[in-house]
């Protein structure tokens, strides 16, 4: 994708089918890398060309039906009913495909309202039959398209007539609103990724790291892009799988030789060989020795001596959030040789999107660095007596241990009188249940009663506030389905939703379940990556650096949370991580906003290597 947003060309897998009048396929041509381009001739007729080693076709865009239902998976079909040709596009970067289809649809619609050159003039023309690329989609094009869509003018009717031979789907308006827009700093990361560099981007909680990852995933070819995260819940948020499931070396505790044997099993071997872009979210929880082993395995299995066997690494996370589960002194993956060998282009996102109150953002940034002043401590303490409950929705308790959270949910559900209803997930295939337990946020069995505190786990209607993380309470059951009253004011009869999960070997397994989870309590570890509506926490039992920061930064505002028995000692940052971030800052020869600290320890970031790849000022606080 280039920065001028010229979406008139697409590279993807193309299958062309020529049909006879009865719809029987006469000939098929398939190409793995076809260049599909939107062009026009001197009479302004639109065509699609498909160019590859195997074929070179030019198809007139007339009587075309567009099936775009699976565009988000990189697939679409164009049916040229006048020419009796079908063009199947697959394995396209989803964002590019969506934008290509939009450009196609807008240009087609606009061309219908343009004056036509009479056929006689065309036949008599002495000009050659050359074509040229269409101009990139301009705001003028889009405005003209929107006008023609809203006013029921002739062009729209004619387009409908042209498309009426096709299915209902083709008549749907193509929505011109794309996914949420990237900010400038996020766009810079996307550009670096598209240039092929290994990229590490970091930033405090809520700076849109996972949001940006979703854009990156949609911009890369699906068949060679492996989207992973260090934990199942983080993987769910980006629609990927766990890094462990991808790598196929278990917990990585075995020797390199044994890990290699494990990774050579057919499924893992195939993953490693076909992967060109490896994405890892919540990198802070990936253990150094595990990362080191992955690098070695990738090189061996791909028989290529470049770091990670030439795979492009795109990693993100915040090392000042949860650390890896490890007792090792050098537990963070940035301490490994493998990390150094990747020569990451490093970016530091600074704009916080989760919270809008600048005072709260600056308190969170100080919590992140483990250095709160008295005023900040006081502000957090003052939240203890706040009433944040509303409309029957109680605050979600964030617990330091998973067991504690489970106990709170079970006992509160038990206490409710009234009939309980249990919803069993439908897993396809049923043998994938364990993977689906790990990689979807929904449980295989969900028990609810009237009065149960719940959280929504899907974006059902963003405009109504029915988004992932929205808090509510079960008000009643209607025809067996729970009706939930949400804090945002909406009442919603919850329907089962589907969670497709890509397996590392390219297949898809799925779970259908109600998008709800009991929400009296969550563990802090399970809440990582989430944005929560109404939270309460007691942080006395925190046992990891960054744990209190993760808990506090889930809240959207100071007014929507309550901290019980807060004490500045509950907040601390890992010194190695602070040093790592400080190292990046000084390497970049930029202003470092952290107070200098003297740390006597063996690890020192390899400054020269980081300097080379450094791209952004690593500010560690926000003014
Ligand atoms: N460019 C953007 N435009 C609109 N909303 C955004 C943008 N970037 C992020 N957001 C929103 O901000 C919120 C936080 O984003 P996200 O969860 O990606 O942050 P994060 O950096 O991954 O946080 P964490 O470190 O806690 O995992 C989300 O609701 C997300 O949709
Ligand atoms: Mg995230």
Max mean pLDDT among 117-131, 181-195, 432-446, 500-514 falls in 181-195
pLDDT over 70 for what percent of the chain? 84
Look at residue 610 and tell me whether its pLDDT is greater than 50: no
Max mean pLDDT among 49-63, 178-192, 339-353 falls in 339-353
The distance of Cα 508 from the centroid of its chain, to the nearest Å, equals 17
Closest ligand to Cα 206: 1
518 alpha carbon – ligand 1 mean position (Å): 23
Counting from 1 in the atom list of ligand 1, the atom nearest the Cα of 214 is 18
Tokens coding 221: 């070819």
50 alpha carbon – ligand 2 mean position (Å): 39
Look at residue 152 and tell me whether its pLDDT is greater than 70: no
Q: What is the DSSP letter of 196?
A: T
pLDDT of residue 469: 87
The reply to whether 209 sits in an annotated binding site is yes
Place of tokens 């004056």: 115
pLDDT of residue 239: 80
608 alpha carbon – ligand 2 mean position (Å): 29
Structural contact between residues 306 and 343, judged by C-beta atoms closer than 8 angstroms: no
Is 102 close to ligand 1, i.e. is its CB under 6 Å away?
no
Q: What is the DSSP letter of 205?
A: T
Closest CA to 92 of 166, 9, 156: 9
164 alpha carbon – ligand 2 mean position (Å): 44
Q: What is the DSSP letter of 255?
A: -
Counting from 1 in the atom list of ligand 1, the atom nearest the Cα of 317 is 25
Is 471 close to ligand 1, i.e. is its CB under 6 Å away?
no
Structural contact between residues 398 and 537, judged by C-beta atoms closer than 8 angstroms: yes
Structural contact between residues 453 and 519, judged by C-beta atoms closer than 8 angstroms: yes
Tokens coding 278: 């490896």
pLDDT of residue 6: 65
Is 523 close to ligand 1, i.e. is its CB under 6 Å away?
no
Q: Which of 71-80, 260-269, 301-310, 591-600 has the lowest average pLDDT?
A: 591-600
Residue with the larger pLDDT of the pair 395 and 8: 395
Look at residue 168 and tell me whether its pLDDT is greater than 80: no
Is 531 close to ligand 1, i.e. is its CB under 6 Å away?
yes
Look at residue 195 and tell me whether its pLDDT is greater than 70: yes
Closest ligand to Cα 528: 1
The reply to whether 247 sits in an annotated binding site is no
N-terminal to C-terminal alpha carbon distance within the chain: 33
Is 354 close to ligand 1, i.e. is its CB under 6 Å away?
yes
Is 356 close to ligand 1, i.e. is its CB under 6 Å away?
no
Closest CA to 363 of 580, 583, 563, 592: 563
pLDDT over 90 for what percent of the chain? 61
The reply to whether 203 sits in an annotated binding site is yes
| 504: confidence class by pLDDT, cuts 50, 70, 90 | low
Residue with the larger pLDDT of the pair 165 and 575: 575
Look at residue 618 and tell me whether its pLDDT is greater than 50: no
Place of tokens 């600048």: 358
Q: What is the DSSP letter of 74?
A: T
Closest CA to 571 of 364, 408, 428: 364
pLDDT of residue 179: 59
- Give the count of beta carbons closer than 10 Å to the beta carbon of residue 366: 17
Look at residue 210 and tell me whether its pLDDT is greater than 60: yes
The reply to whether 23 sits in an annotated binding site is no
Look at residue 253 and tell me whether its pLDDT is greater than 80: yes
Q: Which of 138-147, 396-405, 500-509 has the lowest average pLDDT?
A: 138-147
Look at residue 379 and tell me whether its pLDDT is greater than 70: yes
| Average pLDDT for the chain | 85
Q: Count CA atoms closer than 13 A to 303's CA, side-chain side.
A: 2
pLDDT of residue 166: 37
Closest ligand to Cα 181: 1
State the Rg of the chain over Cα: 27
DSSP 549-573: HHHHTTBS-GGGEEEES--GGG---
Give the three-class secondary structure for 438.
helix
Mean pLDDT of 314-333: 93
- Give the count of beta carbons closer than 10 Å to the beta carbon of residue 415: 9
Is 180 close to ligand 1, i.e. is its CB under 6 Å away?
yes
pLDDT of residue 595: 35
The reply to whether 205 sits in an annotated binding site is yes
pLDDT of residue 241: 86
- Cα distance between residue 198 and residue 191, in whole Å: 12
Mean pLDDT of 315-324: 96
Closest ligand to Cα 322: 1
SS3 percent helix, strand, coil of the chain, rounded to 5, is: 35, 25, 40
Look at residue 597 and tell me whether its pLDDT is greater than 80: no
Q: Which of 210-224, 235-249, 433-447, 597-611 has the lowest average pLDDT?
A: 597-611
pLDDT of residue 609: 34
Look at residue 227 and tell me whether its pLDDT is greater than 80: yes
Q: Which of 15-19, 105-109, 413-417 has the lowest average pLDDT?
A: 105-109
pLDDT of residue 232: 83
pTM of the model: 0.80
DSSP 333-394: GGGSHHHHHT--EEEEE----S---HHHHHHHHHHHHT---HHHHHHHHGGGG----BTTBP
Max mean pLDDT among 68-72, 75-79, 157-161 falls in 75-79
Helix/strand number for the chain, H first, E second = 20, 28
257 alpha carbon – ligand 1 mean position (Å): 40
Residue 194, phi-psi category: left (phi > 0), alpha (psi -120 to 50), beta (remainder)? alpha
Mean pLDDT of 179-190: 90
CA separation, residue 71 to residues 146, 174, 348, 499 (Å): 21, 12, 31, 17
Is 206 close to ligand 1, i.e. is its CB under 6 Å away?
yes
Instruction: Supply the residue whose CA is at minimum distance from atom 27 of ligand 1.
Output: 529
Determine the longest span between alpha carbons in the chain, in angstroms. 87
CA separation, residue 383 to residues 41, 80, 388 (Å): 67, 63, 9
- Cα distance between residue 621 and residue 594, in whole Å: 8
Mean pLDDT of 302-308: 95
**Which secondary structure element, helix H or strand E, spans residue 194, and what is its range?**
helix 184-194
Q: Which of 186, 227, 353 to mutate to test the pocket of ligand 1 (most atoms within 8 A of CB)?
A: 353
Instruction: Supply the residue whose CA is at minimum distance from atom 31 of ligand 1.
Output: 211
Look at residue 312 and tell me whether its pLDDT is greater than 60: yes
Closest CA to 311 of 273, 339, 347: 273
Q: Which of 245-249, 311-315, 373-377, 505-509 has the lowest average pLDDT?
A: 505-509
Is 210 close to ligand 1, i.e. is its CB under 6 Å away?
yes
Look at residue 257 and tell me whether its pLDDT is greater than 70: yes
Q: What is the DSSP letter of 402?
A: H
Is 207 close to ligand 1, i.e. is its CB under 6 Å away?
yes
- Burial class from Cβ neighbours inside 10 Å (0-12, 13-18, 19+) for residue 118 reads exposed
Q: Which of 182, 186, 210 to mutate to test the pocket of ligand 1 (most atoms within 8 A of CB)?
A: 210
Counting from 1 in the atom list of ligand 1, the atom nearest the Cα of 237 is 17
Mean pLDDT of 399-411: 94
- Give the count of beta carbons closer than 10 Å to the beta carbon of residue 138: 11
| 54: confidence class by pLDDT, cuts 50, 70, 90 | confident
Closest ligand to Cα 236: 2
Look at residue 513 and tell me whether its pLDDT is greater than 90: yes
Residue with the larger pLDDT of the pair 551 and 125: 551
pLDDT of residue 8: 85
- Cα distance between residue 462 and residue 620, in whole Å: 31
Residue with the larger pLDDT of the pair 95 and 318: 318
Q: Which of 406-410, 504-508, 614-618 has the lowest average pLDDT?
A: 614-618
Task: Please state the φ and ψ torsions of residue 2, each to the nearest 5 degrees.
Answer: -105, 170
Closest ligand to Cα 532: 1
Q: Count CA atoms closer than 13 A to 250's CA, side-chain side.
A: 10
Look at residue 616 and tell me whether its pLDDT is greater than 60: no
Give the three-class secondary structure for 459.
coil
- Cα distance between residue 109 and residue 149, in whole Å: 9
| 491: confidence class by pLDDT, cuts 50, 70, 90 | very high
Mean pLDDT of 264-268: 89
Q: Cβ contacts of residue 206 below 8 Å, gap of 6+?
A: 352, 353, 354, 355, 531, 553
Is 276 close to ligand 1, i.e. is its CB under 6 Å away?
no
Tokens coding 603: 């690890």
Closest CA to 317 of 547, 554, 573, 529: 529
Is 353 close to ligand 1, i.e. is its CB under 6 Å away?
yes
């Amino acid at each position: 994708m280039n920065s001028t947003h010229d979406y008139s060309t697409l590279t993807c897998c193309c299958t062309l089918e020529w049909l006879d009048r009865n719809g029987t396929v006469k000939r098929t041509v398939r190409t793995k890398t076809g260049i599909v381009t939107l062009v026009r001739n001197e009479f302004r007729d639109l065509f699609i060309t498909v160019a590859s080693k195997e074929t070179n076709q030019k198809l007139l865009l007339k009587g075309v039906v567009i099936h775009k239902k699976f565009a988000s998976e990189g697939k679409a079909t164009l049916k040229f009913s006048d020419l009796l040709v079908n063009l199947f596009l697959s394995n396209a970067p989803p964002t590019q495909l969506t934008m290509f289809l939009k450009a196609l649809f807008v240009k087609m619609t606009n061309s219908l309202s343009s004056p036509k050159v009479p056929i006689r003039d065309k036949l008599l023309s002495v000009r050659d039959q050359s074509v040229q690329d269409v101009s990139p989609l301009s705001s003028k094009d889009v405005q003209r398209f929107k006008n023609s869509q809203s006013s029921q003018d002739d062009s729209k009717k004619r387009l409908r007539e042209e498309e009426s031979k096709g299915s209902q789907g083709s008549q749907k308006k193509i929505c011109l609103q794309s996914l949420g827009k990237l900010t400038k700093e996020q766009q810079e990361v996307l550009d670096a990724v598209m240039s092929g560099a290994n990229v590490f981007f970091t930033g405090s909680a809520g700076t849109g790291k996972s949001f940006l990852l979703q854009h990156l995933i949609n911009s890369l070819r699906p068949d060679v892009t492996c989207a992973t995260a260090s934990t199942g819940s983080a993987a769910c948020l980006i629609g990927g799988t766990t890094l462990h499931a991808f790598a196929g070396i278990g917990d990585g505790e075995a020797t390199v030789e044994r890990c290699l044997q494990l990774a050579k099993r057919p499924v893992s071997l195939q993953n490693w060989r076909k992967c060109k872009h490896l994405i890892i979210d919540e990198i802070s929880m990936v253990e150094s020795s595990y990362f080191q082993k992955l690098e070695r395995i990738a090189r061996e299995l791909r028989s290529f001596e470049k770091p990670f066997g030439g795979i492009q690494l795109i990693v993100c996370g915040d090392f000042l959030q949860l650390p890896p589960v490890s007792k090792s002194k050098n537990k963070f993956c940035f301490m490994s040789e493998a990390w150094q060998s990747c020569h990451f282009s490093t970016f530091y996102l600074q704009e916080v999107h989760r919270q809008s109150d600048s005072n709260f953002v600056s308190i969170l940034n100080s919590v992140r660095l483990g250095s709160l002043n008295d005023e900040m401590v006081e502000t957090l303490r003052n939240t203890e007596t706040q009433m944040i409950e509303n409309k029957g929705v109680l605050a979600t308790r964030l617990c330091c241990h998973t067991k504690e959270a489970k106990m709170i949910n079970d006992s509160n559900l038990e206490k409710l009188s009234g009939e309980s209803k249990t919803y069993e997930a439908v897993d396809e295939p049923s043998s994938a249940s364990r993977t689906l337990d790990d990689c979807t946020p929904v449980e295989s069995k969900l028990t609810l009663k009237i009065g149960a505190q719940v959280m929504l786990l899907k974006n059902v209607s963003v405009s109504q506030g029915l988004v992932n993380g929205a808090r509510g309470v079960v008000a009643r059951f209607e025809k067996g389905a729970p009706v939930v009253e949400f804090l945002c004011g909406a009442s919603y009869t919850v329907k089962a939703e589907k969670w497709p999960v890509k397996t590392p070997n390219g297949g898809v397994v799925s779970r259908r379940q109600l998008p709800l989870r009991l929400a009296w309590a969550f563990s802090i570890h399970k809440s990582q990556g989430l944005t929560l509506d109404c939270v309460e926490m007691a942080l006395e039992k925190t046992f990891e650096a960054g744990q209190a920061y993760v808990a506090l930064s889930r809240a959207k505002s100071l007014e929507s949370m309550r901290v019980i028995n807060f004490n500045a000692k509950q907040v601390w940052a890992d010194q190695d991580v602070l040093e790592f971030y400080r190292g990046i800052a000084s390497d970049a020869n930029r202003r470092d906003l952290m107070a200098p600290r003297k740390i006597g320890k063996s690890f020192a970031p390899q400054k020269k290597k980081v300097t080379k790849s450094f791209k952004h000022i690593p500010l560690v606080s926000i003014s």
